Amino acid sequence: MEKEKKQGRREFMINGLMGGGLLVSIGLFISHGLSFIFPGKDEKKQRKLLVGKVDELKEGEAKEVTYGENDLFLVRTADGFKVFSAICTHLGCKIKWQDYRNQFYCACHKGFFSANGDVISGPPPRALDQFKVEVDKNLVYMWIDESNKGLA
Ligand code: FES
């Protein structure tokens, strides 16, 4: 009698554990299956980085900003603040800002970019890489995508 009682409890425990394990497995299978069929938004690790103050640049002025090993330019244009990579899209030389012309200049092969980053002349095949900017009161931020090796 006592032996049968013990055996009954053991079977009950084993069946309970197996049933629980089976339920967890089914739940995980359904969860992963749904996320495969309906993928959510790609969660990018983004954060904003302070790059300047609104009152430090007048329209037509720019300043260099360094983030890690990345050289950037913060420019105040008629359309607002913009942040560009300081790397020429031709062969990767570092560009310079020309206040008197309101444009960027690449000395390597005489490439010119407008204050909006568009190619004006020279060999660069495309506009400068631009980053999302946010102005909050007197502060100017740029957004960086850390999942993409640094910059968004
Ligand atoms: S690297 Fe800038 S124009 Fe060639």
In ligand 1, the atom with minimum distance to the C-alpha of 106 is 2
Q: What is the pLDDT of residue 40?
A: 62
Of 124 and 2, the structure prediction assigns the larger pLDDT to 124
Q: Residue 97: which H helix or E strand, with range?
A: strand 96-98
Q: What is the pLDDT of residue 130?
A: 95
- Residue pLDDT, tens place only, 102-139: 999 999 999 999 999 999 999 999 999 999 999 999 99
Q: What is the pLDDT of residue 30?
A: 75
Give mean pLDDT, residues 51-72.
94
Q: What is the pLDDT of residue 51?
A: 95
87 lines ligand 1 (CB under 6 A): no
Q: Which amino acid residue places its CA nearest to atom 1 of ligand 1?
A: 91
106 lines ligand 1 (CB under 6 A): yes
- Residue pLDDT, tens place only, 13-44: 778 788 777 887 777 777 776 666 666 655 66
Distance 100 CA to ligand 1 centre (A): 21
d(CA 97, CA 88): 12
151: pLDDT strictly greater than 80: no
Q: What is the pLDDT of residue 65?
A: 94
Q: What is the pLDDT of residue 148?
A: 60
d(CA 74, CA 80): 10
Determine contact, residues 45/145, Cβ cutoff 8 Å.
yes
Which pTM value belongs to this model? 0.70
Q: What is the pLDDT of residue 42?
A: 57
Distance 53 CA to ligand 1 centre (A): 30
CA-based radius of gyration for the chain:
29
60 lines ligand 1 (CB under 6 A): no
- For a substitution probing ligand 1, which of 91, 112, 119, 129 has the most ligand atoms within 8 Å of its CB? 91
